[in-house]
DNA sequence: CAATCGCGTCCCATATAGTCGGACGCATGG
DNA sequence: CCATGCGTCCGACTATATGGGACGCGATTG
């Protein structure tokens, strides 16, 4: 409320407090850093931090501030109160046992992929992914599955998540970028027709994945399932074979979510 | 700020917002209910709820309000940034593989047990416990392990958690209650000497457990490990055999937490 | 060893920002 | 058809959060 003319319209004190939680989640460990990140005064910060500590949202460790136990309680509560996650569990486990690779369930939230379930694979290196972690929609197989229906967002999301350097766009880089964008849209069109999606090491070199969307009673995509593994376990042929498997698991979960086949 | 003369001294707006999150976590699903629980006015509530929705702490479902995706993100972040939980993982898995029963890791938080890790057993009925769940300290094996050092809190906690009906205490019930309290203290004294604790179906009929505390570099108890199973799998003899096993796992974790043997 | 710096806490005056109360629109149901 | 309850918006009031500053403390530095 000082530099730029934003209008947060709402409850500043609450927003300020939640902003502190976010900053700590992002690795800020001491109040001075919070001060330079938020612009709030010391006394204000300490009061807010004390309140958050008291409620268990933050806690003190030998190394400084960190997220508190209440968040663990609420986070797992949020997960288990999510019908998708609880309904999907058994189906995902069955899929995981069958394919022996890492299985994920994710939803879209705030323009990114949010993992709800991860079942680590039984071979190869373990993926660094974690439940509660966020990933870009257009770079992951599971994210593309979540976007399948939203043709109008493909380009928008691609551009938002795409170039690491927006400012520095040399003419040649721009040309390459446009080509990549067209390529992305073309692939999405293909996936959309097939009702599945791939990740060919775009997000993480050496990691490939096959994904399919989960739908609910209104036909809307409410989540997605994926199988991921290191490239040696994921030759093109196997990926092709996995498509119906992932789709099967996704269909089972969709059924439990009230999906009764594509209408229209 | 109306009925009783409390002095919340802090940041009301923030506290009000967090109180809403708690209420939703406790099952409140609509604003009218929030109103009667908090005493806040409709307009205030809607503003706070909107803010919390915007930040992903709450979300709307067909059935009303529920905890939002941000809490999943933060909750799992809190867990993985907890040294105890991340360090313990491998040791707990090893223990679980060995004993084939349910293994828990918990800490004390705000006067109750908070589970950080649960590894379901490979036989018998699955326990209903969940990571992020809270349990009474004096009724669970793992809670007693957390209390081992704090002799001065035994009675206090027992009384706080003990009688389901404080008001209605008939003379005879009171007598029985006092006997139970003395019995509890005696058992705790015994456990303290042995460095372990039991749960003989006190918390959940049919469930028994063996637990041991985890310590850090300052000798303080920072957590506890337990093995739980249904009574048929837990005859007295086996519980005795499990004591050194749990203690071993707890010791391994303690070592990683900086524990170097009991000083003093 | 003294002096300085940065952190954490507390207090108080000010005006900002949250609360309240009510009006309005809409859907539901009697 | 009217009545009831939910969700949103608005403006006035003042309760409440803010920020400036004083204080104590421990660590760091000269």
Query: A40: domain CATH number?
Result: 1.10.10.10
> Average pLDDT, stretch A93-106?
96
Residues A200 and A228 in one domain: yes
* Pairwise CA distance, residues A249 & B159, whole Å: 50
Q: A203-207, B180-184, B185-189: which has the highest mean pLDDT?
A: B185-189
Distance from CA of A121 to the nearest CA of B (A): 16
| Strand intervals (E) in chain B | 58-61, 64-67, 102-109, 112-119, 134-136, 197-200, 207-215, 221-230
Q: Is the pLDDT of residue A1 over 80?
A: no
- Nucleotide D10's nearest residue (CA vs C1') is B43
- When divided into structural domains, chain B yields a total of 2
pLDDT at position B8 is 58
Please say if the pLDDT value at position B4 is more than 50: no
Q: What is the pLDDT of residue B256?
A: 94
Chain A residues closer than 8 Å to B48 by CB: 11, 14
Average of per-residue pLDDT values in chain A: 90
With contact defined as beta carbons under 8 Å apart, do B112 and B135 qualify? yes
**pLDDT band at residue B23 under the 50/70/90 scheme:** very high
Of B10, B68, B75, the CB nearest to A72: B75
- Interface contact B15-A55, CB threshold 8 A: yes
Residue B248 has pLDDT above 90, yes or no: yes
Any atom of strand D under 7 A from CB of A35? no
Residue range A53-66: average pLDDT? 93
Residue A99, domain member (yes or no): yes
How far apart CA A2 and CA B193 sit, in angstroms, is 61
Which residue in this structure is represented by tokens 């203690």? B247
Of A14, A50, A76, the CB nearest to B130: A76
A162 and A214 assigned to the same domain: yes
**Nearest Cα to Cα of residue A77 among B39, B209, B78:** B78
Tokens 């990549």 map to which residue? Answer: A180
Taking alpha carbons only, the member of A147, A80, A151, A140 closest to residue A116 is A80
Query: Which residues of chain B are within 8 Å of residue A130 when distances are taken between CB atoms?
Result: 76, 80
pLDDT band at A164, cuts 50/70/90?
low
Residue A203 has what pLDDT?
85
Q: Do both B64 and B194 map to the same domain?
A: no
If asked whether residues B245 and B172 sit together in one domain, one would say yes
To probe the interface with A, which of B10, B12, B17, B18 has the most A CB atoms within 10 Å? B18
> What are residue A185's phi and psi, to 5 degrees?
-60, -40
Taking the CB of residue B178, how many other CB atoms lie within 10 A of it?
A: 10
Instruction: Return the pLDDT at A144.
Output: 96
Does residue A262 lie in a domain region? no
Higher pLDDT, A165 or B146: B146
B26: closest CA of chain A, how far (Å): 9
* Pair of tokens at residue B60: 């709307």
Do B10 and A50 touch, CB atoms closer than 8 A? yes
Distance B33 CA to D9 C1' (A): 22
Whole-number Å distance, CA A19 to C1' D14? 27
Tell me the two tokens of residue B217: 């570099």
Task: Count the alpha carbons within 13 Å of A262 in the hemisphere toward its beta carbon.
Answer: 5
Residues B203 and B95 in one domain: yes
Residue range B46-70: average pLDDT? 94
User: Is residue A89's pLDDT more than 60?
Assistant: yes
Same domain, B102 and B136: yes
Chain B residues touching residue A50 (CB < 8 angstroms): 10
CB-based contacts of A142: which residues, under 8 Å, 6+ apart?
A104, A106, A113, A135, A197, A199, A209, A211, A224, A225, A226
Average pLDDT over residues A218-227: 94
pLDDT of B233 higher than 70: yes
Domain identity same for A61 and A100: no
- Of the listed ranges A117-121, B1-5, B60-64, the one predicted with least confidence: B1-5
Q: Judge whether B2 lies within some domain.
A: no
Helix (H, G, I), strand (E, B) or coil at A259: coil
Would you say residue B236 has pLDDT above 80? Answer: yes
Residue B109 shares a structural domain with residue B64: no
**Which run of H or E residues covers position A173?**
helix A171-194
A13 interaction partners in chain B (CB closer than 8 Å): 11-14
The answer, yes or no, to whether residue B21 has pLDDT greater than 80, is yes
Residue at A6 is within a domain: no
pLDDT in the model for residue B260: 85
- The answer to which of A24-33, A76-85, B45-54, B170-179 has the lowest mean pLDDT is B170-179
User: How far: A82 CA to D25 C1' (Å)?
Assistant: 48
Identify whether B21 is part of a domain. yes
Q: Which domain, by its residues, includes B201? A: 82-256
> Which one, of A212, A205, A220, A207, lies nearest residue A244 by Cα?
A212
* pLDDT interval class at A176 (50, 70, 90): confident
Lowest average pLDDT, out of A161-165, A207-211, A244-248, goes to A161-165
Closest-CA residue of chain B to A45: B11
Binding residues for strand C (Cβ < 7 Å): A 1, 10-14, 30-32, 42-43, 46, 50; B 12-13, 16, 39-44, 47-48
Boundary-marking domain end, from A74, A98, A127: A74
Please provide the average confidence, as pLDDT, over all residues in chain B. Answer: 90
Most B CBs within 10 A among A28, A73, A81, hence the mutation to make, goes to A73
Answer whether any strand D atom is within 7 A of the Cβ of B60.
Answer: no
Percent of chain B with pLDDT over 70: 93
The whole-angstrom separation of Cα B234 and Cα A243 is: 45
Q: What does the alpha-carbon distance between residue A232 and residue A205 come to, in Å, rounded to a whole number?
A: 12
What's the pLDDT score for residue B164? Answer: 62
Closest chain B CA to residue A76: B132
Look at A196 and A261; give whichever has higher pLDDT: A196
Predicted confidence (pLDDT) at residue A45 exceeds the cutoff of 70? yes
Has residue B212 got a pLDDT over 60?
yes
Residue B153 near residue B111, CB atoms below 8 Å:
no
Q: Which two tokens stand for residue B239?
A: 């519980």
The residues pairing with A64 across neighbouring beta strands, listed in sequence order, are A61
The 10s digit of each residue's pLDDT in B151-166 is 999 999 998 887 665 5
The DSSP bridge pattern shows strands B207-215 and B221-230 to be antiparallel
Q: In the prediction, which pLDDT does B5 show?
A: 39
Q: What is the pLDDT of residue B169?
A: 63
Q: With CA atoms as reference, report the closest residue to B200 among B128, B138, B130, B129.
A: B138
Residue with tokens 């009474």: B136
């Amino acid at each position: 409320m000082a530099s730029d003319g934003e209008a947060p319209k709402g409850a500043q004190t609450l927003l300020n407090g939640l902003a502190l939680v976010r900053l700590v989640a992002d690795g800020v460990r001491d109040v001075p850093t919070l001060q330079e990140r938020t612009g709030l005064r010391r006394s204000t910060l300490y009061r807010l931090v004390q309140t958050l500590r008291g409620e268990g949202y933050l806690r003190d460790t030998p190394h400084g501030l960190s997220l508190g136990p209440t968040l663990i309680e609420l986070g797992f509560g949020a997960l288990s109160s999510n019908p998708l996650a609880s309904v999907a569990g058994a189906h995902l486990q069955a899929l995981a046992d069958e394919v022996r690779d890492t299985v994920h369930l994710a939803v879209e939230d705030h323009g990114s992929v949010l993992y709800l379930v991860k079942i680590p694979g039984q071979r190869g290196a373990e993926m660094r992914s974690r439940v509660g972690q966020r990933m870009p929609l257009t770079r992951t197989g599971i994210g593309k599955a979540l976007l399948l229906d939203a043709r109008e967002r493909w380009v928008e999301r691609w551009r938002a998540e795409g170039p690491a350097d927006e400012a520095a766009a040399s003419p040649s880089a721009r040309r390459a970028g446009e080509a990549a964008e067209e390529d992305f849209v073309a692939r999405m069109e293909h996936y959309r027709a097939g009702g599945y999606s791939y990740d060919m090491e775009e997000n993480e070199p050496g990691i490939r994945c096959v994904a399919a969307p989960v739908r609910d009673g209104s036909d809307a995509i409410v989540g997605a399932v994926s199988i991921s593994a290191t490239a040696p376990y994921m030759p093109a042929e196997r990926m092709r074979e996995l498509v119906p498997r992932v789709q099967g698991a996704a269909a089972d979960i969709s059924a439990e979510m009230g999906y009764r086949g594509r209408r229209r």
